[in-house]
Structure 1
Amino acid sequence: MKNNFILRTFMCSDIILFCFFILIFRMIQIQLFDSKNYKEAVKSQTDIVKNEGGERGNIYDSKGKGLAYSINMYELSVDPKRFVESEKGAEALKELINKKYIKENYKPLLVTIKRLGEQKRRYKRLNKNVDDVEKKEIEDILEKHGIKGKNIIFLEVRKERRYYRSDLYFFLVGNIGFKNKTEKEGVFGIEYLYENYLKGEKTLKTISGIRGLGIGLPTSQARTKVNLNGMDLHLTIDNDLQYILNDEVEKQYKKTNAEEAYAIMMDPNNGKILATSFFRKNKKNVANPIFQSQIEPGSIFKPLVIAAALNEKKITRNTNFDIGDGTIKKYKHTIRESSRKIKGILTTEEVLKRSSNVGMVLIGDRFTNEEFDHYLEKFGLYEKTGVDYPYEKKARHVLPKSWHGLKKSTMSFGQGIAITPLQMITAFSAVINGGTLYQPYLVEKITDRDGLVIRRNLPLEKRKVISPNVSQQMRSMMELAVLEGTVVKAHVEGYRVGGKTGTAQFSENGRYVKNEYLASVVGFFPVEKPQYAVMVVFFKPQGDAWYDKSGGTAAAPVLGEIVKRVTKLKNIYSQSIENIKVQGKKQNFKKVENNQELLVMPDLKGMSAREIIEIFKGSDIELEISGVGVVESQSPEPKKELVDVKKVKIKLS
């Protein structure tokens, strides 16, 4: 018996030991040899992998106005398979329909969802445009019915790009779209050019949890990059100036029934583009003509040629030119003045003021072809400006040795040379800013979401073109053109404005079209220290007579209206107001009567509240101002004595 017991004991021990060795072997196999496969199997059942990406950067104007930005939108969906297995889904669905979060009838929708559930379908969209406010209310309903987070009825977030006033900014800011059918990216304008800064970074985020429910475990650790968001762009564009420019151009575009109209406003002292605008009847053409189309500028080109001649001392401001009867023959072609009244002896100043074509030909004759070509190159007309906008067009450079006989003569008054509007206003800015050609730009700086500046675009001086003295003379002559010449319709009482109009013949397929013109104006203000340079162009304006289609009639009034509105917006005091202020401060509105000095009331009509406060600053007179706008009435009346007056009442309207 004893031997049998010992034998059985050994047999049991051997069996247990054998099983133990098998277990050890299996553990070694699992831990060392098959561990990778088992880890992957566990991960496939527990790990939730999410593809996360940062938000696309925003685009702002120079004052922080959002022009392009991303917002969260949500899709409300249902998992039909889980829905039919749930007891509470139907009640939640009914409440969502009653509160208009789902715009379908309850019973038909319930039948559809149950049918899909029986087919083991896992997805049906209920509402694709849920905003943040609606999301919170929907989540409260799901939580009330105890199905929030169970993926029965659920919300999925998506990013949507929104644009402020696309009618103003679409062709400048651009837009985003699908290029690779999976992710949206910039396809046009600034959105396209700065794609690498604007786009957010992408990463995969892994969370351990219940994969079937999409719920992460509290102890799980997920690592991802802290900031995946794209950078923000801050433009040089001023939204207020953009609105004014666009509004005035649109009004005249409709009035003249032009085929196209475009305009640009720039700070001539640094190359900042402050506003752009354009309209066209042909909606299929999506190119931005300010950067991507070439025009023959016409007479707005003349200041460049005169500035070059003054700078080379080939002429002076008072050099006389005999234009005879207003015609000149060059290489068997007759060049005529636009008006029969232009004839006789004209000074350089009068050539510019009256926009004499023959006078410009005579000025051009003082250059050799090579000298003329050299200044065109210095003004940047043979190269891209370098502006930060995609697909800028470059002018074609024909070497002087290949010029035909009339080439220099016609270029002298802006025909026979094709440049972009941006090239034109950039070169014009060099004429008025003291002689420096700057590279134009649209993006002032790039920041991260914390406001840290990643990149800043600074004014880039490309070259000195003319001397400061010549620039000052050009400003003075162009001011005279506004006061007495072809730009008189841009004159604004009390403000010093300079400019030049143009009326270029429209060319098509290498030939000029009869009675079709390109009417334009370039201008600047204030004359003494220009802060704004403006160019406005109307393509094929319509009218009963040539006069109605000319730059002086079709374009110059727009410059005047822009000056009026911008000076009010930016509180630029007129010259007459400056005189009133000096009188008010230094002379105390004094007049002498019977050897006695008396205070008199100035005429305030048409002034703003700020201007009035400036006038009476430092006096003992109390101001009572009511209303908004400019002065409609005042008490006391103008020129009334103020000796015993303690209060002045002003009504604005």
Structure 2
Amino acid sequence: MKYLKILIFILNFIGIGYAFYNQEFLLGWFLIFFCIYFGYICWKKQEYVRASNFNKRTLYASNILLFFLLIIMMRLIQVQIFEREFFASRVMGQIKKTDILSGNRGTIYDSTGKRLAFNKNIYTIGVNPAAIYDRPNTLKGIVEILNQDFIKKDRDVLLNEIKRGYETGRKYKVVAKNINEREKEKLEEVIKKYKMTRNEIRFDRNIERTYYKNDFYDNIVGFIGYNYKSQSEKIGLFGIEKQYESYLKEKVLKRQNFYTRSRNLKLPTSKEFIRMNLNGNNVYTTIDNEIQFILSEEIKKKFLSSKSDEAYGIVMDPNNGKIIAATSFTTNTKKSLRNPIFQNQFEPGSTFKPIIVASAMDAGLINRKTLFDVGDGRITKYRHTIRESSRSTRGILTTEEVLKKSSNVGMVLIGDKFTNIQFEEYLKKFGLYDKTGIDFPGEIKPYTVSYKKWDGLKKSTMSFGQGIVLTPIQLITAFSAVINGGILYKPYIVEKITDESDVIIRRNIPTEVRRVINPNVSKQLREMLEDVVADGTAKRGKVEGYRVGGKTGTAQLSGKGGYLKDNYLASFIGFFPIDKPKYVVLVMFLKPKGETIFEKYGGATAAPVFGDIVRRITKTKNILSQDISSISKIKEMKKGESTKFVDVEMPDLTGFSPKDVIYIFKNTDIEIKIQGTGLVEKQFPEKGTSLEDVKEIKILLK
């Protein structure tokens, strides 16, 4: 027996050495403790012989307990030392959760504070089938949730799917999608009622980007989506959403928090987090929602009635470059990341003529009364015959009449007064050799050729708007410099950017690029363009009671092998008021259809649209006509005196409110009688009637 004990000890020591040599530390420690235990048993052996039966049983019991204590100690050593990392990770996996915190994308507003692009929270509801069937009370809550009207899927079908998920150990099952905030609040009441935990049911938030009147704004505001590099987060792909992505983008923050196993209670830790603003910044555009609506509606109406391929419209403030409204329509239903206002180039046609006339007058080459002999309406340059668009354009014309009659031959003669280098210099001054620099993605660089490479005909054709291509934004920007006093401004579409506290972090201000022409030349061009509308090719752009100016354009479209027969770009560019222009309006229709050629021209297609736009803007913005202004400026009459109206006509009051009518005639002794409610539908006397002997005005409202 003695040798057996020695052998056991020797084998134990050999085993300990082997275990530590092979880095089997757990086995080594077990053998060490076993040696200690075995030695203790051998040491107590003599006590077993001398002890009574009761003490023997006590010793045996203590030895057995000691053995189990040895096992427990070994298990503790295994868990706490040798497998510490494994069990620590398991524990952390049960209590640690990475919370992803994200803010909202910034809102895009118009200039008046109208939301054009904003966020709407929607939720996906998920349940844990493995947790539900163990808790009958929770199952009742789930049934009540599935009975809600806005849960579209059949309740019994969902319950069967949840049950199958329980049987397979599934931890997540979607039961509803696209739940809004109001519906979420109803579900939270049910969750609270049945004391359900986050481990049983959860809401996953998604942010849905919502756009106001998308058919009118999509080409300006743009949209967000997944790009080809990342399918995990949405970014601005087009329009203002793309241009100002770095400002609008929300921040995403990942934090590790510790919860109880049920995820119902966050565990206190020593970590402290600083609160952060995760929301994107807000963008305020220069767009005026009311004018955008007017422009879009009028352009769309004519786009459909004329059966044009495409249509464009821009309203700009010529005094600072602000884009007040911009819209486009096309028959091409394919979605395109392209805005033709900034990315399509056209030969502008006669709308380009005021730019050349202004350049020639500024250079001192001509004046308003300079005479040009257009002969029989034809001129040959380098074996190419250039004709007038109208057979009635013949003989001797002044510069004013060249614009008024839109004479192509007259413009060629004006162009002849320039040298090639002079002509190119003025094109550069008007910004026609560069991008405008507007804060919109994708503006294309103009296609230009140095004057050194021009053929003999190039300058002549450019003089009347052919042989040169411009984007609509380039044309309206250059034209604005013609009528605003002669200054070229950089156009812009975003006014300011603010944080969620309305603190301005960026502001776009009017940027004067350069002076292009003399202020006196600009004044003369305004007067000349007013005559074009009053008694020239743009008569259909006339607006009763208002002084407006403008120019029509009818450019023949080019194709393979030359110009396309009966295919035109019909356009009109105009402005008002004449003295201090506040609005410049450009409307363009690509390939309008009509029974006659004349119906495809700018004077017939585009000019009336300009007139309708101006009428609606003046009413919306309460811009009084000249007749109304002359009435409202009459001073208070002294007691006993009567108002004398000499050469003052009754204005058109249609669409005005009773309050507006009373205000217009407040300084007169004319009595206003009102019938009905709403806005003025009829008036007596009618518009155009002399007010000299009128004592009473009757208006019918509807």
Pairing of 1:596-635 with structure 2 (within 5 A)? 603=650, 606=653, 608=656, 609-617=658-666, 625=674, 627-630=677-680, 632-633=682-683
- Structure index of larger Rg: 2
In 2, Cα distance between equivalents of 1:483 and 1:598: 25
Aligned to 2:556: 505
Offset at residue 621 of structure 1 (A): 7.9
Aligned to 1:250: 300
Offset at residue 375 of structure 1 (A): 0.5
- Are 2:408 and 1:357 aligned? yes
Aligned to 1:15: none
**Aligned mate of 2:320, from 242, 253, 270:** 270
In 2, Cα distance between equivalents of 1:442 and 1:519: 26
Query: In the superposition, relative to structure 1, how do residues 622 and 547 fare at CA in structure 2: closer, same or farther (>3 Å)?
Result: closer
Query: In the superposition, relative to structure 1, how do residues 192 and 404 fare at CA in structure 2: closer, same or farther (>3 Å)?
Result: same
Offset at residue 38 of structure 1 (A): 8.4
Aligned to 2:452: 401
Offset at residue 109 of structure 1 (A): 2.4
- Are 2:234 and 1:187 aligned? no
In 2, Cα distance between equivalents of 1:284 and 1:453: 38
Aligned to 1:541: 592
Offset at residue 589 of structure 1 (A): 11
Q: Give me the TM-score of the superposition, normalised by structure 2.
A: 0.83
Aligned to 2:102: 53
Aligned to 1:375: 426
**Aligned mate of 1:410, from 445, 452, 461:** 461
| Letter matched to residue 217 of structure 2 | Y
| Letter matched to residue 160 of structure 2 | V
- The DSSP-based 3-state class of the residue aligned with 1:215 is coil
- The DSSP-based 3-state class of the residue aligned with 2:208 is strand
Aligned to 1:152: 200
In 2, Cα distance between equivalents of 1:182 and 1:152: 26
Aligned to 2:65: none
- Are 2:225 and 1:174 aligned? no
Offset at residue 94 of structure 1 (A): 2.6
Q: Which moved more, 1:92-101 or 1:77-86?
A: 92-101
- The DSSP-based 3-state class of the residue aligned with 1:271 is coil
Aligned length: 624
Query: In the superposition, relative to structure 1, how do residues 540 and 629 fare at CA in structure 2: closer, same or farther (>3 Å)?
Result: same
- The DSSP-based 3-state class of the residue aligned with 2:447 is coil
In 1, Cα distance between equivalents of 2:128 and 2:601: 67
In 1, Cα distance between equivalents of 2:639 and 2:602: 45
In 2, Cα distance between equivalents of 1:492 and 1:255: 21
Pairing of 1:101-120 with structure 2 (within 5 A)? 101-120=150-169
Offset at residue 207 of structure 1 (A): 2.0
| Letter matched to residue 149 of structure 2 | K
- Are 2:604 and 1:553 aligned? yes
Query: In the superposition, relative to structure 1, how do residues 473 and 588 fare at CA in structure 2: closer, same or farther (>3 Å)?
Result: farther
Query: In the superposition, relative to structure 1, how do residues 606 and 617 fare at CA in structure 2: closer, same or farther (>3 Å)?
Result: closer
The 8 Å contact of residues 209 and 220 in structure 1, kept in 2 or not, is answered as no
- The DSSP-based 3-state class of the residue aligned with 2:449 is coil
The 8 Å contact of residues 199 and 262 in structure 2, kept in 1 or not, is answered as no
- The DSSP-based 3-state class of the residue aligned with 2:528 is helix
Offset at residue 125 of structure 1 (A): 1.1
- Are 2:373 and 1:322 aligned? yes
- Are 2:75 and 1:62 aligned? no
Aligned to 2:473: 422
| Letter matched to residue 508 of structure 1 | G
Q: Which moved more, 1:129-138 or 1:41-50?
A: 41-50
Offset at residue 444 of structure 1 (A): 0.4
- Are 2:494 and 1:443 aligned? yes
- Are 2:521 and 1:470 aligned? yes
Aligned to 2:187: 138
| Letter matched to residue 487 of structure 2 | T
- The DSSP-based 3-state class of the residue aligned with 1:276 is strand
In 1, Cα distance between equivalents of 2:149 and 2:428: 66
The 8 Å contact of residues 205 and 223 in structure 1, kept in 2 or not, is answered as no
Aligned to 1:215: 265
Query: In the superposition, relative to structure 1, how do residues 598 and 525 fare at CA in structure 2: closer, same or farther (>3 Å)?
Result: closer
In 2, Cα distance between equivalents of 1:513 and 1:369: 28
| Letter matched to residue 479 of structure 2 | F
- Are 2:484 and 1:433 aligned? yes
Aligned to 1:230: 280
- The DSSP-based 3-state class of the residue aligned with 2:121 is strand
Query: In the superposition, relative to structure 1, how do residues 420 and 635 fare at CA in structure 2: closer, same or farther (>3 Å)?
Result: closer
Query: Deviations 1:193-235 (Å, cap 9, x if unpaired)?
Result: 1111111112112222225536313677552542011111000
Aligned to 1:14: none
Q: Which moved more, 1:580-589 or 1:477-486?
A: 580-589
Query: In the superposition, relative to structure 1, how do residues 589 and 131 fare at CA in structure 2: closer, same or farther (>3 Å)?
Result: farther
**Aligned mate of 1:457, from 508, 511, 533:** 508
Query: Deviations 1:388-421 (Å, cap 9, x if unpaired)?
Result: 1111011122011100111000000000001100
The 8 Å contact of residues 109 and 285 in structure 2, kept in 1 or not, is answered as yes
Which segments of 5 or more consecutive residues in structure 1 lack a partner in the other structure? Answer: 9-18
In 2, Cα distance between equivalents of 1:79 and 1:210: 17
The 8 Å contact of residues 634 and 667 in structure 2, kept in 1 or not, is answered as no
Q: Which moved more, 1:559-568 or 1:508-517?
A: 508-517
Pairing of 1:282-361 with structure 2 (within 5 A)? 282-284=332-334, 286=336, 287-361=338-412
The 8 Å contact of residues 48 and 211 in structure 1, kept in 2 or not, is answered as no
The 8 Å contact of residues 584 and 615 in structure 1, kept in 2 or not, is answered as no
Which segments of 5 or more consecutive residues in structure 2 lack a partner in the other structure? Answer: 1-42, 48-68
The 8 Å contact of residues 109 and 117 in structure 2, kept in 1 or not, is answered as yes
Offset at residue 161 of structure 1 (A): 0.8
Aligned to 2:577: 526
In 2, Cα distance between equivalents of 1:615 and 1:110: 70
Query: Deviations 1:561-600 (Å, cap 9, x if unpaired)?
Result: 00100000111110111222344746999669xxxx999x
In 1, Cα distance between equivalents of 2:610 and 2:494: 25
Q: Which moved more, 1:621-630 or 1:493-502?
A: 621-630
- The DSSP-based 3-state class of the residue aligned with 2:491 is coil
Query: In the superposition, relative to structure 1, how do residues 231 and 371 fare at CA in structure 2: closer, same or farther (>3 Å)?
Result: same
**Identity percentage of aligned residues:** 48
